[in-house]
Amino acid sequence: MSGKQLSVVVTRRLPEVVETRLKELFDVELREDDTPMTTEQLAEAMGRADVLVCTITDQIDAKLLGRAGDQLKLIANFGAGVDHIDVATARQRGIHVSNTPGVVTEDTADMVMALILGVTRRMAEGFRVAQSDSWGGWAPTAMLGGRIKGRRLGILGMGRIGQAVARRAAAFGMQVHYHNRKRLRPEIEAELDATYWESLDQMVARVDILSINCPHTPSTFHLMNARRLKLMKPEAVIVNTSRGEVIDENALTRMLRAGEIAGAGLDVFERGHEINPRLQALPNAILLPHMGSATLEGRIEMGEKVIVNIKTFADGHRPPDLVVPAML
């Protein structure tokens, strides 16, 4: 099938160069305003598209997939995480799901370092002081944070992003520890100079900074539950650029308020963009609006990946970034 015969519906505005390329290649319907589609609009789109290009703001659950037309053959997600898509049900219905791995790695790892430094060096507090008229000038005892050189970093989830974080952390003189479902190959572990912990409990109890870099799946939901959070040292910091659901956010908020965990850098939240006001009120938490992978370069590369996945599929081949339930 040629690309022009494929009807492609895109659920969100994408960078202009990506939209232009999609128009050149496919019979594409682009979104006019930059808001997520309603469930009804999404269902209608799935009733007429051969290919749906969606994002994390679209909940593609079993109910919605049940309303998809027979012509829908590919859901090409613009993003790496696919926890908003019921991949198993899609597969049962013969609908392929693809994503955009790899291209978000470096930008997200940069944001992990920004959050580690931001929290340990109290950048949000400093920013607020400098913006106000209350700053009385430099003082030997003011705004004292902690040095990250020599600190133990625990990486939960040592996939592409976790490994990119490890490389950066090593350059900052941190000691890298990790927990992963599968241990890395010895040569990669040696190259990263990373210490493997089979027991997540034991690792979280020993690290100064914990970075969450695993995807959200049924087995990682609340992996950092109240019991595990309590194992962390009171002076430790937790950083999450993955998915909010991996941490029990209420438990974390309580512990941050009580000083049982020193600080947090969070780019993602358990209830999407509805941030817990008690978390917003905390001076020891830096909160960001899910912008870990938000660079123009990254977004364009994500668009290129989406296009390659659709094009390969249109040419009758398996999309290179096919997501299969066994991967999750």
Q: Which residues bind ligand O=CC(=O)O (CB under 6 A)?
A: 56, 79-81, 104, 293
The CA-atom distances, in angstroms, between 18 and each of 14, 28, 117 are 6, 12, 33
The minimum distance between CB 241 and ligand O=CC(=O)O, in angstroms, equals 8
The minimum distance between CB 27 and ligand O=CC(=O)O, in angstroms, equals 26
Q: What is the DSSP letter of 85?
A: B
Q: Judging by DSSP bridges, how do beta strands 175-179 and 74-77 pair with one another?
A: unpaired
Tokens read off for 6: 């494929």
Instruction: Using the minimum distance from each CB to ligand O=CC(=O)O, give the nearer residue, 177 or 299.
Output: 299
Residue nearest to ligand O=CC(=O)O (CB): 81
Instruction: Using the minimum distance from each CB to ligand O=CC(=O)O, give the nearer residue, 27 or 83.
Output: 83
Place of tokens 């910091």: 237
The minimum distance between CB 287 and ligand O=CC(=O)O, in angstroms, equals 16
Instruction: Using the minimum distance from each CB to ligand O=CC(=O)O, give the nearer residue, 240 or 293.
Output: 293
Instruction: Using the minimum distance from each CB to ligand O=CC(=O)O, give the nearer residue, 52 or 56.
Output: 56
The minimum distance between CB 104 and ligand O=CC(=O)O, in angstroms, equals 5
Instruction: Using the minimum distance from each CB to ligand O=CC(=O)O, give the nearer residue, 81 or 263.
Output: 81
The minimum distance between CB 56 and ligand O=CC(=O)O, in angstroms, equals 6
SS3 sequence of 143-155: CCCCCCCCCEEEE
Instruction: Using the minimum distance from each CB to ligand O=CC(=O)O, give the nearer residue, 69 or 102.
Output: 102
Rounded CA separation 61/216 (Å): 15
The minimum distance between CB 31 and ligand O=CC(=O)O, in angstroms, equals 18
The minimum distance between CB 217 and ligand O=CC(=O)O, in angstroms, equals 13
Mapped onto helix, strand or coil, the DSSP state of residue 40 is helix
Spell out the residues 6+ positions from residue 219 whose beta carbon is closer than 8 angstroms to its own. none
Instruction: Using the minimum distance from each CB to ligand O=CC(=O)O, give the nearer residue, 220 or 293.
Output: 293
Q: Judging by DSSP bridges, how do beta strands 175-179 and 152-156 pair with one another?
A: parallel
The minimum distance between CB 70 and ligand O=CC(=O)O, in angstroms, equals 29
The minimum distance between CB 215 and ligand O=CC(=O)O, in angstroms, equals 8
8 Å CB contact between 191 and 158: no
Rounded CA separation 207/219 (Å): 22
Rounded CA separation 123/43 (Å): 44
8 Å CB contact between 263 and 209: no
Instruction: Using the minimum distance from each CB to ligand O=CC(=O)O, give the nearer residue, 234 or 289.
Output: 289
Rounded CA separation 294/40 (Å): 28
Interior CA angle at 158 toward 155 and 161, to 5°? 90
**Helix axis angle, 123-131 relative to 105-120, nearest 10°?**
70
Instruction: Using the minimum distance from each CB to ligand O=CC(=O)O, give the nearer residue, 80 or 210.
Output: 80
